[in-house]
Amino acid sequence: MMTRKRGLAVIGIILFATFPLWMKYVRPDDARYWVDVINNVGLYAILALSLTVILCDAGMYNMGHAAFYAVGAYTGAILNTQLGVPILLALPVAGITAGIFSAIIARPVIHLRGDYLLIVTVGVGEILRIALINDVFGITGGPNGIFGIARPELFGFKIKRPDHFFYLIWGFAALTLFLFNRLKQSRFGRALDYLREDAVAAEGSGINTDRYRLLAFLLGATWAGMTGSLFAAKMTIISPESFSFWESVVIFMIVILGGSGNMAGVLLGTFIVIALPEVFRDFASARMLIFGLAMMVMMVFRTQGLLPPKPRKFILPKLAEEGD
């Protein structure tokens, strides 16, 4: 059974990894468009995975994730257009900048109860967006944003077509899945679970809950910041409207719909929220209505999301006979 499941997974991954190649034959007219849709899915999937760390693992209601995405995108864009730093080199810097930004915000509000924290993060997202529109920092280009971001290059290869970006974005998504999965199975991942389940018991078991709340924010925001840089590279132009409150809501929705912390669920949720509306484009305005209704029905009948997280398994070391 297991090998059959694994075989199916391998076939699925191969099919997906060759998507831009076979799509050219399946839909010769609009293959580029569909590859671009899947690229957007990839960006949202990484964003949703990064929000998962804050929202599901540490249990902190962050409805302003687009703010960290924006900080990363703008940092990457400014480094590239003003200082000529290649965008992929600027990517880690953008991540760290977003991480520092999140830590400054999170530090004073980390003790707030869920709903209060949610309102603070909404506020932060809006303040940042308005500051960008008004060009408060003098280097973000106001409502027009920043354009002329250079195409990224990887080992001398210029990434410019959607099928090129497919491999860049989904490569980063795969790396994210790989690393986050390792984190989940570690002291760090467990600490977040303990603190979410019962912060008093976690602290009483010797876990520095403040530190881990902050680290969760820092990690989630850093990842969103790096994704922002990828987005800037893909678009070559960014403006404040790409980072509206609605973006934060969409990312939040993906995570909750997908299954609150299960990574496969997050991927599934991203496809449903980002790609499915494109498939039903012919229904035009009705599609959002249907989609909204489907969300509501689901939140009533399957509150745990499509694929809820599974309990951790441990390979137990063998011990000598039990004490008594």
Partner 1 sequence: MAILELNGVTKTFGGLTAVGDVSFKVDEGSVVGLIGPNGAGKTTVFNLITGNYVPNAGSILFEGRELSGMATNKIVSSGIARTFQTIRLFQKMSVVENVLAGCHCRMKAGIFSAMLRTPSQRREELEALQLAMRELSFVGLAHQAENLAANLSYGNQRLLEIARALATGPKLLILDEPAGGMNPQETDQLVALIGRLKERGITVLLIEHDMSLVMRACEELVVLEYGIKIAEGKPDAVKADPRVIEAYLGTD
The residue ranges that bind partner 1 (CB under 8 A) are 179, 182-183, 185-191, 193-194, 197-198, 200-210, 215, 219, 311-312, 314-317, 319, 322-324
Question: In this complex, which beta carbon is closest to partner 1, that of residue 153 or of residue 210?
Answer: 210
Question: In this complex, which beta carbon is closest to partner 1, that of residue 27 or of residue 182?
Answer: 182
Rounded least distance, CB 40 to partner 1, Å: 26
Question: In this complex, which beta carbon is closest to partner 1, that of residue 80 or of residue 102?
Answer: 102
Q: How far apart are CA 104 and CA 218, in angstroms?
A: 10
Strand ranges in the chain using DSSP code E only, listed in sequence order = 146-147, 153-154, 157-158, 237-238
Rounded least distance, CB 303 to partner 1, Å: 15
Q: How does DSSP classify residue 280?
A: T
Using alpha carbons, list the distances in angstroms from residue 319 to 41, 313, 316, 322, 323: 47, 18, 9, 8, 10
Question: In this complex, which beta carbon is closest to partner 1, that of residue 207 or of residue 232?
Answer: 207
Question: In this complex, which beta carbon is closest to partner 1, that of residue 158 or of residue 182?
Answer: 182
Rounded least distance, CB 313 to partner 1, Å: 8
Q: How far apart are CA 197 and CA 56, in angstroms?
A: 11
Rounded least distance, CB 46 to partner 1, Å: 15
Q: Tokens 């902050």 belong to which residue?
A: 214
Rounded least distance, CB 14 to partner 1, Å: 26
Q: Name the 3-class secondary structure at 316.
A: coil
DSSP per-residue string spanning 125-184: HHHHHHHHHTTTTSSS-GGG-EE-PPPPEETTEE--SHHHHHHHHHHHHHHHHHHHHHHH
Rounded least distance, CB 186 to partner 1, Å: 3
Question: In this complex, which beta carbon is closest to partner 1, that of residue 84 or of residue 206?
Answer: 206
Q: Name the 3-class secondary structure at 237.
A: strand
Rounded least distance, CB 101 to partner 1, Å: 18
Q: Name the 3-class secondary structure at 238.
A: strand
Question: In this complex, which beta carbon is closest to partner 1, that of residue 188 or of residue 291?
Answer: 188
| Residue 35 β-bridge partners | none
